[in-house]
Structure 1
Amino acid sequence: MGEFEAIRPYDDAEVSTVLARLFADDAFLGTLTRYRFPKLAGPLGWLLKPVIAHRLRREFASIDSVAALQDRIEPYVDNTIERATDGVTYSGVERLKPGTAYLFLANHRDIVMDPAFVNYAVYHAGLPTPRIAIGDNLLQKPFVSDLMRLNKSFIVHRNLAGRREKLAAFQLLSAYINHSIREDGQSIWIAQAEGRAKDGDDRTDSAILKMFHMSRKDEPFAEVIRNLHLIPVSISYEYDPCDQAKARELQIRASTGSYAKAPGEDDASIALGITGYKGRVHIAFGSEIGGASEDAKQLAQEIDQQILGGYRLFPVHYLAYAMWGKQDPELRVPAAADLFRGEELARAQAEWQKRLDACTEEQRPYLVQQYAMPVRNQYRVKAGLPL
């Protein structure tokens, strides 16, 4: 396991040491204090932090494995999900076989909650949770890195300048993913493309698929994919807590050609994504890819068919599509009122209007697009039209 030292999650033997380090970390304790006691954190933070540290040490004193840690924090995760959603449903999880390690390739809308919801579904199905790919751009603070690696996350190095460095990082990542599934028997979660699909257009980057093959070039591409037990996963949010911020970014990019993140912007997105209202959430596990595709582009199309076809469309998506300026003339998309009735539709109309009102006129088309695009994509899949 030495070759993966720089990117791997922590193992059971490291849990106690890392927890002790976290509970002595001033930045971590400060974050918890601000979250738990937002009004008192400023004037009384110096007093609250040691109290929180003492309570954490006592509560987690017996934790000596990653599985035990996940069991302990699961009620907190469930509570967070219950407070920020109107319910979570999932489908296809019954097809997952105990004892088989999978490569879960998912659409990407939220930095933390996408893998958290997949974990939620898998955990409650009584199966081991996957190891999670996370970009090093999100691990600027040591305590964040510790937290994520404790929770079975491994690091994807993104901020690399040279071609040789990037190639070496991809080679290592490929080797680790293959080793995890084929040797360790541990599932993997990774996004279908780098970065969130801020415009609502969920598409698989074929470069990700080529990466899976990089460390096993001596084997046929289709065979490598087959041995990874790749499962496309579609994660559907009724409402995106970060939709306004995404619309703003897209509008600025369109008008200026670029967008520079403000300091702490990723942290703010993570916090809003976790705590913000999401409405209903659905996680659809697709069918295992058989490995018939001989190249990455063909495989990407097969995966997209499943992810886009498995996306759960809510009333808000149809409301957005009806006002979208880029409706597809080849498609017959029903109106929201033809599919949803009564209180459900009225609630969606009120929530959608609230989000439209909160958006500037210049940014509104980008907000509409986020919710309309999944409708276009799914109906093209249903009609057998090219994506």
Structure 2
Amino acid sequence: MGEFEAIRPYADAEVPAVLTRLFADKTFLDVLMRFRFPRMAGAFGWALKPLIAHRLRQEFAGIDSVSALQDKIEPYVDRTIERATDGVTYSGLDQLQPGNAYLFLANHRDIVMDPAFVNYAVYHAGLPTPRIAIGDNLLQRPFVSDLMRLNKSFIVHRSLSGRREKLAAYQLLSAYINHSIRVDGQSIWIAQAEGRAKDGDDRTDSAILKMFHMSRKDEPFGQVIGELKLTPVSISYEYDPCDQAKARELYIRATTGRYEKAPGEDDASIALGITGYKGRVHVAFGAPVSGGFEDAKLLAAEMDRQILGSYRLFPVHYLAYEMWSERDPALNVPAAAELFPTAELERARAEWEKRLAACPGVQQPYLVLQYANPVRNQYRVKAGLPL
């Protein structure tokens, strides 16, 4: 594993030392304190931090492997999901065979919760959780890097500027993904494109698919993809906790041509994504690609067809589509009232109107866009139309 030292997740033998380092990290303890005891953090922070560190050391004593750590935190993850959702459902898990490793390619809406919900699904199905690709732009603080690498995350170097450096980073990433699946027998989760689809328009970047092949260029593209068991995953949120922030960013980009993140903005998005209300969530696992795709663009189109076609549309998506100025009458999208019971639709309408009211008028079209795009895309897939 020496060649992957700079990007790999932590190994079992490293877990105790990393936990010790985490529980002594003042910044990490400060974040925990402000999250768990927001009212007391200011005046009593000096007393709370040592108590939190002591409790953590007691709670995680004896944890000496990644799987043991995941077993330990699983109840906390479950409670967080239960508090922030109205339930999680999943489909297609019967297509995954125990003992096989898969390359999960998923749409990307939330920084932490997208892979968390995939982990939730496979863990409760009795399957090993995948290793998770995470951009180095999110790992600016040491404790964040430690937390993610403890939870089977590996690093994608996105902040490199030189062409040669980027090429070397992608070559290494390709080699690691292939090694993980073919040698270690460990599944991988990676987003279908760099960054979240803030406008709700989920599309696969063919460059990501080409990257999978980079370290095995002497072998046919289709053969490599087939051996990696590339599997599309569609993650559907009824409500996006970060939809207002995304609408604001989209508006600023559209009106000024650029958007500069404020300090701590990613941290705020992560926190809101984890704790904010999501309504219902559905995770759909598609059929692993068996081969036959020798062109990355054709493969990207197939990934889009499966991901968009499997996306669970909730009442709010139809309500947004009905008021979207760019809806396509030729698609024959039914009205929400034709698809959902009256009580369910009224609950959704009340929540949607609350979100619209909280959004400044000039930004509302970008809020609508996020929820309407999945409807347009799915009905284009159903009609066999190009996306």
1:125 to 2:89 alignment: no
Residue 132 (structure 1) shift: 0.1
Percent identity between the two aligned chains:
81
2 CA distance for matches of 1:280 and 1:197?
A: 19
Name the SS of the counterpart of 1:316 in structure 2: helix
Q: How does 1:285-324 map to 2 (within 5 A)?
A: 285-324=285-324
Name the SS of the counterpart of 2:179 in structure 1: helix
Match of 1:371 in 2: 371
For normalisation by structure 2, the TM-score amounts to 1.00
Residue 342 (structure 1) shift: 2.1
Match of 1:236 in 2: 236
1:88 to 2:105 alignment: no
Residue 329 (structure 1) shift: 2.8
Deviations 1:322-354 (A, max 9, x none): 000001132000000000122111100000000
2 CA distance for matches of 1:291 and 1:299?
A: 10
Give the letter for the 2:363 counterpart: Q
Match of 1:7 in 2: 7
2 CA distance for matches of 1:41 and 1:141?
A: 21
1 CA distance for matches of 2:292 and 2:237?
A: 31
Give the letter for the 2:123 counterpart: Y
1:162 to 2:198 alignment: no
Name the SS of the counterpart of 2:384 in structure 1: coil
Give the letter for the 1:286 counterpart: G
Match of 2:254 in 1: 254
Name the SS of the counterpart of 1:330 in structure 2: helix
2 CA distance for matches of 1:240 and 1:132?
A: 21
Give the letter for the 1:327 counterpart: R
Give the letter for the 1:50 counterpart: P
1 CA distance for matches of 2:35 and 2:257?
A: 36
Unaligned runs of 5+ in 2: none
Residue 34 (structure 1) shift: 0.5
Root mean square deviation, CA, Å = 0.5
Residue 291 (structure 1) shift: 1.5
1 CA distance for matches of 2:230 and 2:2?
A: 26
Give the letter for the 1:200 counterpart: G
Match of 2:57 in 1: 57
Name the SS of the counterpart of 1:362 in structure 2: helix
Residue 10 (structure 1) shift: 0.1
2 CA distance for matches of 1:272 and 1:36?
A: 14
Q: How does 1:1-387 map to 2 (within 5 A)?
A: 1-387=1-387
For normalisation by structure 1, the TM-score amounts to 1.00
1 CA distance for matches of 2:52 and 2:69?
A: 18
Unaligned runs of 5+ in 1: none
Give the letter for the 1:385 counterpart: L
2 CA distance for matches of 1:42 and 1:188?
A: 41
2 CA distance for matches of 1:91 and 1:311?
A: 11
Give the letter for the 2:42 counterpart: G
Deviations 1:28-49 (A, max 9, x none): 0011100110000111111001
Deviations 1:267-290 (A, max 9, x none): 000000000000000000000112
Give the letter for the 1:318 counterpart: Y
1 CA distance for matches of 2:358 and 2:69?
A: 40
Name the SS of the counterpart of 1:283 in structure 2: strand
1 CA distance for matches of 2:20 and 2:336?
A: 53
1 CA distance for matches of 2:282 and 2:229?
A: 22
Residue 385 (structure 1) shift: 0.8
Deviations 1:119-160 (A, max 9, x none): 000000000000000000000110000000000000000001
Name the SS of the counterpart of 2:133 in structure 1: strand
2 CA distance for matches of 1:250 and 1:157?
A: 25
Give the letter for the 1:168 counterpart: A
Residue 95 (structure 1) shift: 1.3
Deviations 1:31-87 (A, max 9, x none): 110011000011111100100111110111110000000000000000000000000
